[in-house]
Structure 1
Amino acid sequence: MNESFGLQAVEHDNLGEIVYGQLSDALIKGRFAPDARLTIRDLAQSLGTSVTPVRDAILRLIQDEALVQKSAREVRVPVMTLERYLEIRQIRMKLEGLAAREAALKAEAKDMARLRDLIDRNERAIADEDWAGALELNQTFHFALAQIANMTVLRGILGRLWLQMGPIIAASYQHGGRAMIDQHHIILAAIEARDADKAERAIVDDIRGASSVIIEQLSALKPAGGAA
């Protein structure tokens, strides 16, 4: 198998953490499609490692509910159900709302400049129909709010949620078009104005608005049972 999934060969120091980080990043950025079958051997070849650190990383991702063990030899990316998606969306609105509030209170000039740069680059990516680039910039913007808020525990929780959300967001991002970024401008304006309430409302509106396409797609599917 020659497909690399956009992964980079890793060095031999601290292989377990590096491989886990690479696979997590690939899931968050939607490089693995929902229901994709992953094999340890193919991933190890892509990463240029032995199978052991890949196996360990996959076990961790199964514990994170980012992958599902279908059988002794079959690991797949979960297929999201509508019920599960709505639950995760509700949690995200609460937690990312908190991150946006804290970011509005703590952001420095360099943080605002970083957010503005992410939005500008995302605008260009959407205009160029570079959906992979736009998707990555969208994810980076959301994570940046928790970083600016300086909430390490919250970042970890959000990371685990995005591991589960990445594939379905990636599958629908192009269909969302401009709706996927419009609220980012409002979030930035609220942070610049130190308006924590407005920043929280805007991130909630962002998540809710961008979810309409995903809900439509999931509603058209039959329940996936335990696959999620």
Structure 2
Amino acid sequence: MSELPILEHENLSNTVYATLCDALIKGRFQPGDRLRIREIAEQLGTSVTPVRDAILRLAHDDAIVFQSPRDIRIPILSKPQYLEIRAIRLRLEALAAESAARVASKADIETLTAILAENEKALVDGDRLKGTELNQAFHFQLSKIADLHVLNGILRRLWLQMGPLIADAYLEGGRSMIDFHYPIVEAIKRGDPEGAARAIMDDIEKGGRVILARVSVAAA
């Protein structure tokens, strides 16, 4: 587990929860990782109480498995669980992409292009953590461009489970983790909603083959 930032906010329970959500979504944990409440509290500079509260909320979100205070882990999804999440993402992220294609400004397209450029560097550097974070940033930027706040919230809930999976498969996935993003940007440049939707569905299905393979092996 990578280090987490020290917190200085007053509402620690909500802040710890938000911090751990962000860490999950950005791939700072991997499937099967064990979480220790006291260790996380020390990293964040808090008492154990807000961390324990956040852990219980994450268990309710199905983002972690809480067997006991001494056995808290990042879940290892079954193949049916992964396929269900993927099916939902296909519909929702296609909506985000096609909506973004209708309204994207030149600045929006430049932002997506900049994320891709940074992601290329992370891939060359073999930086799994940075690459996973940039992959998430690209996907979430589409709903941000489309100004779909409710959709963004739903996607965040799904990505609590997707972040660790993507992080686990990122280096093995190689160029498949980024190559399918380029057609999405090109479709948005053309103002082609249907093309953008098709492109992101290709990214989720074809770019995610390495993830599906890992899930299938774990389930065997």
Classify the TM-score, shorter chain: over 0.9
What secondary structure sits across from 2:208 in the alignment?
helix
2:21 corresponds in structure 1 to: 24
Cα pair 2:96 2:142 within 8 Å, conserved: yes
Cα distance in 2, alignment partners of residues 145 and 153 from structure 1: 13
2:143 & 2:184 partners in 1: Cα distance?
Answer: 13
- 1:1-228 to structure 2, matched below 5 A, reads 5-222=2-219
Letter in 2 for 1:97: A
- Deviation, 1:12, is 3.4
SS at match of 1:172: helix
How far did residue 72 of structure 1 move? 4.7
Letter in structure 1 aligned against 2:211: I
Deviation at 1:165, TM superposition (A): 1.2
Task: Measure the CA separation in 1 of the matches of 2:114 and 2:69.
Answer: 45
Percent identity, aligned pairs only, is 51
Task: State the Cα distance separating 1:63 from its structure 2 match.
Answer: 1.1
CA distance in 2, matches of 1:137, 1:53: 28
Kindly state the Cα deviation for residue 210 of structure 1 after the two structures are TM-superposed. Answer: 1.7
Structure 1, unaligned runs of 5 or more: 224-228
Aligned residue for 1:49, secondary structure, equals coil
CA distance in 2, matches of 1:182, 1:156: 26
Report the secondary structure of 1:167's partner residue: helix
- Paired amino acid for 2:28: R
Q: Distance in 2 between matches of 1:132 and 1:72?
A: 27
CA distance in 2, matches of 1:197, 1:36: 39
TM-score, scaled relative to structure 2: 0.95
- In the alignment of these two chains, the number of paired residues is 220
Paired residue type of 2:90: M
SS in 2 for 1:157: helix
CA contact (8 A) 2:79 2:219 kept: no
Q: Tell me how far apart the structure 2 counterparts of residues 180 and 201 of structure 1 sit (CA, whole Å).
A: 16
User: What amino acid sits opposite 1:178 in the alignment?
Assistant: R
Stretch deviating more after TM superposition (67-76 or 134-143) = 67-76
What are the ranges of 5 or more consecutive residues in structure 2 without an aligned counterpart?
Answer: none
Runs of 4+ in 1 over 3 A off after TM superposition: none
What do you get for the CA RMSD once the two structures are aligned?
1.3
